[in-house]
A and B are shown apart, each in its own frame.
Chain A
Amino acid sequence: MSEQTLVVVGAGHVAATTARALRRRGFAGPVVVVGDEPVGPYQRPHLSKERLTSGGEDGLWLLPAGWCEANEVTLRTSSPVDRIDAGTGSVLLADGSAIAADVVVVATGGRPRRLPGVEGERVHHIRTLADSDRLRERLAAGRRIGVLGGGFLGSEIAAAALGAGAEVVVFDRDPVLFARAMGPDIGAALTGLHQRRGIDLRLGRAITEIRPGAHGVTVVTPDGSENVDELVVCLGIEPSTEVAVRSGLVVGNGVQVDAHGRTSVPNVFAAGDVAAHDHPLYGRVRVEHVDVAQRQAAAIAATVAGRPSVAGDAHWFWTDQYHVNVQGLGLTGRLPSDWVVIRGSLVELDGTAFWLRDGRLVGGASIGRGEDLSVARELMDLDIPVSAEQLADETVELEDLLEQEEVTVR
């Protein structure tokens, strides 16, 4: 049987991880990455961090040209895709050309949510490298930057703007930042961090009107009007499912895939921000974290290379809030009825929150304590019972808990 050709529709993290993982696993067939941007795959987390603060390229590119050449991976940039034609086994580009494909991975990502009428020279949505570079030019001392939405992206952009010497106002409808994503304890600690750093937080208020103008944007809340020079809208993304829809794939909140990442069409997979993945732990869920995209991509590559795999690990993500590293593990599956235990001190930015259910860990979130989550991941994988007292007691080494396993009769 001749070698199969694999084509990735999209040129982001999924494309990069898929290409690397395929080669690492000995897949020898042609690999083609097709993206609509004029550049190859890059580190999206950099767009709200180092690329935004310094404009540098260190560590930005995921598939350097030299690697692609040495590994026979073809990168097609500025090449929007129309659809996948499963009948003829090809990926059809918008320019009318076709790329023969035996296996396709749909990784078209998402696009920023936009509010009607909130557009113009002073409005920013950050998704691509070009978006980040355009915003960076506007961040300077003395400028007033408004950020709509204080989630992971918005808070990182606020920190970058502050670092550039700008005044920063963050609007969020929730009274505590990050509470929905990581619980109220972590949320309170990080909200306090931003306040101490000098971010002007306008929390717990709905926006009644936004008026973009040629020289700035006016944001109206029940408390009054706020004028900013630039407004960055950070309200999450919608999955880019157009290619999937035109290709006849089943789509819901994203492209629906099974545990292995397969879509409703044979030999077509999907992964990353666009994929509604049937996760063994959580059921069908679409997640917008880089690590999740990478694990999905790695599992698809392993499957294609002959070793069927499932991205079934607990979801893991991180965010850098100024120089504080914050991580979340397994939070997708937490329930309001779970018991929350705190280890260390969150307000001092050195602690971990754990979620317990029936004597087992289901998730954790740490501020400055990635090590705790590394052990938590093992405790969860090995299904080891733990008590709230042990988790809260800093004289108890979490690693020692790995030794305490219930004796099971086999």
Chain B
Amino acid sequence: MSEPTATSPAPLVDQQDPNAWVHVAQMKDLARRKRKQVVVGSCPVALFLVDDEVLAVDDTCIHQERSLAKGTLLNGQVICPGHQWKFDPRTGEAEDQDGRLATYAVQVTEEGAVLVASQPVTPREATTSDSATDAAGR
């Protein structure tokens, strides 16, 4: 895998290149609020700092498309501000519903640059919940 450039802003990357990493933030951006919304390609991604580890999942909730980065972190779970759906940021799974958020690999350089892989590690899956905005999935 090629060495990622740590200092330039989001470089133009070939999104089909599974080796592409996008520099989305610095660790100091996450230190205080422990969450941040970033963009990877055209996809909004939510970063969460849980026990000193940076986790990345889809920012858009599978329920009614609210921004999870605007939600709450509790006991290592992400709680959507819309209707309090809970997600495990490591697996993207919703706690009491079916469906899951895509998860993304993250690496943090020695200089504190936070890099997110351009393609998800695990896929997004729509929920079948009746109240979902788009139950059939994107």
Binding site for B on A (CB under 8 A): 21, 24, 43, 54, 58-59, 295, 298, 318, 320, 323, 325, 370-371, 373-375, 377-378, 402
Which of B71, B72, B76 has its CB near the most chain A CB atoms (within 10 A)? B72
Query: Among B33, B80, B82, which residue has its beta carbon within 8 angstroms of that of A378?
Result: B33
What 5 additional pairs, Cβ within 8 angstroms, besides A58-B97, A59-B97, A377-B72? Answer: A58-B129, A295-B74, A371-B71, A375-B70, A378-B33
- In this complex, what residue of A is CB-closest to B97? A59
A295 contact set on B, CB distance < 8 A = 74
Interchain CA distance A99-B129 in the complex, whole Å: 40
Query: Among A21, A59, A375, A378, which residue has its beta carbon within 8 angstroms of that of B75?
Result: A21
B111 contact set on A, CB distance < 8 A = none
Binary per-residue interface labels of chain B (104-138) against chain A in the complex, 1 for a CB within 8 Å, 0 otherwise: 00000000000000000000000001110000000
Binary per-residue interface labels of chain B (59-103) against chain A in the complex, 1 for a CB within 8 Å, 0 otherwise: 000000011001110111000111110000000000011100000
A21 contact set on B, CB distance < 8 A = 75
A130 to chain B, nearest CB (A): 21
Q: Are A370 and B81 in contact (CB under 8 A)?
A: yes
Known contacts A43-B96, A298-B75, A402-B32; is-contact A325 B83 (Cβ 8 Å) = yes
Known contacts A58-B129, A59-B96, A402-B32; is-contact A371 B81 (Cβ 8 Å) = yes
Q: Are B70 and A320 in contact (CB under 8 A)?
A: no
A325 contact set on B, CB distance < 8 A = 82-84
A302 to chain B, nearest CB (A): 9
Q: Are B72 and A374 in contact (CB under 8 A)?
A: yes
- In this complex, what residue of B is CB-closest to A53? B130
B86 to chain A, nearest CB (A): 10
Show 6 residue pairs from A and B whose CB-CB distance is below 8 angstroms, ordered by the A residue.
A24-B76, A295-B74, A325-B84, A370-B81, A370-B83, A377-B72
